[in-house]
Amino acid sequence: MKQLVALLISLLFLLVNIVAKAQVNTQDSLALVDLYNSTNGANWKLSTNWLTKEPVSSWYGVTVNDNKVVSLSFSDNYGNNLQGTLPESIGNLSYLVYLDLSENSISGNIPSSIGNLSNLIKLSLYSNNFTGTIPESFGNLSSLSELSMSECYALNGSIPSSLGNLRYLTSLDLSVLSLTGSIPESFKNLTFLKSLGLGNNLISGPIPDIFGGMSSLSYLDIGSTNISGSLPPSIYKATNLKSIDFTDCQLSGTISDSLGYLTKLMDFRLGGNRMSGSLPSSIGNLRKLTTLYLGGNNFSGSLPDSLFSSVGLVNLDLSYNQFSGRIPSNITNLPSLEILGLSKNLFTFSGMEEVANMKVKNKYYYPQGLVPLVRTGDTIKISVGGTPENNTYRWYKDGKFLLLNKKDSTCPINGVGKYSAIITNDVATDLTLYSDTITITSLPIKAIKLFAKENDGQTLLQWKVVDEINTATYQVQRSLDGKNFTTIATLYSAGNGNNSYSYKDEGAIITDVPNIYYRILSTDRDGENELSSIVITSVSARNMQLISVFPNPVKNRVTIKGRHIKELILTNSIGVQLAKIIVRDATNPSMEVGTQAKGVYFISAKTTDDKEITLKIIKE
């Protein structure tokens, strides 16, 4: 007990000396003593004059103005080795304007009392071992301009929405923490913000549409987080942006053509997301761009020529996407380019020869995706671009070498099997293209000979097939104009060899056109199709053969079945005309014969194209 009393007396004596000599108010002095004791001051790397009789203004890291502590700075490149925790009394330094405790080993919770420092303009706590959450009371720091808390890995919880109250904030760095939750909507109030760092956290959800009023924002980093959704429209209104980093998130959607408004953008990183669509041509407006990282997305389509208008590009990474088409020739107009990534896309040799000749320190354009093979009749084709004379095609069937072509990009089908190709180019030597595999299960039909004739008022189609192998089906197709065909029947193949087929079209009673067209579509078992030649049949001849009477024999009224009939004449067995009816353009007209005596009569039916047929009836 005596020792404790003696210690308290010593501390009181020391404090009296400090206050008397330094003329610093008691509240500030007590807070400084607490800070020293709570953070293991005896082991600080730099602690000049602390807790001595020297003026407080001479203590390392302390700035005094008008007997009040206005600044505490304990940061250097190596840290001052502050350990332990921050005391609640630090919030009593009410005149503090500048507080920098960065790059130390301070642990524990951040005192909520810091929110009492209403005069604070700059607060730096980055690179410490703080735990717990960011106090909501930070929203009370109404004068704050800069807040940096990055690399405090153990800080967790959500971002306090109260930070949106800091209207004079120009720099906010909360990167490399363990923050969760979403980005507060209240950040839209930070209209003076120039730099926002939220990267390397566990925050999620969509990016709120908060950037419309951030006309001063020049640096934005939300990379390596779990944010998702599409880019908010207001991002394109922050026209002073110089750097955007959304690397390794879960963003989707497309890049708007409004990207062209960000004319000051120098660094644009969207790699490692799920973005899709093509690049807008307005990207050419970003003339100050030095870094463009879009790798690891699902972008597709061809590269716009305007992309290479940014002649100051140093780093360009478009790898691991679905870009295709010709690489624009003006890619060679990038004198500052040091890194070029084009690999893992769907590019071929189109424009790749120019890329191969570029003087770029780090250049990657291999590998590319599989190039599709296309079967055309009895050949297989592949399109790989480049100068034809520079291309060499090695063809394989069932994994075994089949053929080597220089310049020629086709391979004749040599029996059923699996075909593939490997293509190299004499200039773009770092790129070898591989085709997909096409399986040929049947050989093409050599010929289909189609014939058509009238049979009992209907069309009889007959065709012969030479060298039929593994054909699956034949589709009978009919057309009224010779251009637009409809399938009216499907017949299955009879098997390999030379075969004959026939089909009777019983439903083609169509008289609105002069002719009907037919063709045959054959389909192999591997899905390949082949068409026969077209045959034509006359409608009027068919119409005449399809005209008949009903009932027959008849008692009273007889119906003449047919179309486009314009006249009916009834005669007796010796040719005397008994009745005549003008019906113009009729379908299935009828005639009264009930007044005639029993016997044999004839009805002559004339059609609108002046064809005539005589039908025999029996009157009961």
State pLDDT tens for residues 57-73.
999 999 999 999 999 99
- Of the candidate ranges 238-247, 303-312, 555-564, the one whose mean pLDDT is the lowest: 555-564
Q: Is the pLDDT of residue 348 over 80?
A: yes
Question: Residue 521's pLDDT is what?
Answer: 87
Between CA 505 and CA 6 the distance in angstroms is 121
**Nearest-CA neighbor of 323 among 260, 275, 263?**
275
Q: What is the distance between the alpha carbons of residues 144 and 120, in angstroms, rounded to a whole number? A: 6
Q: Which residues contact 415 (CB under 8 A, 6 or more apart)?
A: 397, 440, 443
Please give the mean pLDDT across all residues of the chain.
Answer: 89
pLDDT at residue 17 greater than cutoff 60: no
List pLDDT tens digits, range 310-337: 899 999 999 999 999 999 999 999 999 9
Question: What is the Cα gyration radius of the chain?
Answer: 45
Q: For the whole model, what pTM was predicted? A: 0.70
- Higher pLDDT residue, 439 or 499? 439
Q: What is the mean pLDDT of residues 441-468?
A: 73
User: What mean pLDDT is predicted for residues 294-306?
Assistant: 97
pLDDT tens per residue, range 565-579: 888 888 887 788 888
Q: Does residue 153 contact residue 177 with C-beta atoms inside 8 Å?
A: yes
More confident residue, 549 or 137: 137
Asked if 374 and 380 touch (Cβ cutoff 8 Å), the reply is yes
Share of residues in the chain with pLDDT > 90 (%): 64
Task: Determine the pLDDT at residue 146.
Answer: 98
Q: How far is CA 548 from the centre of its chain?
A: 64
pLDDT higher than threshold 60 for residue 600: yes
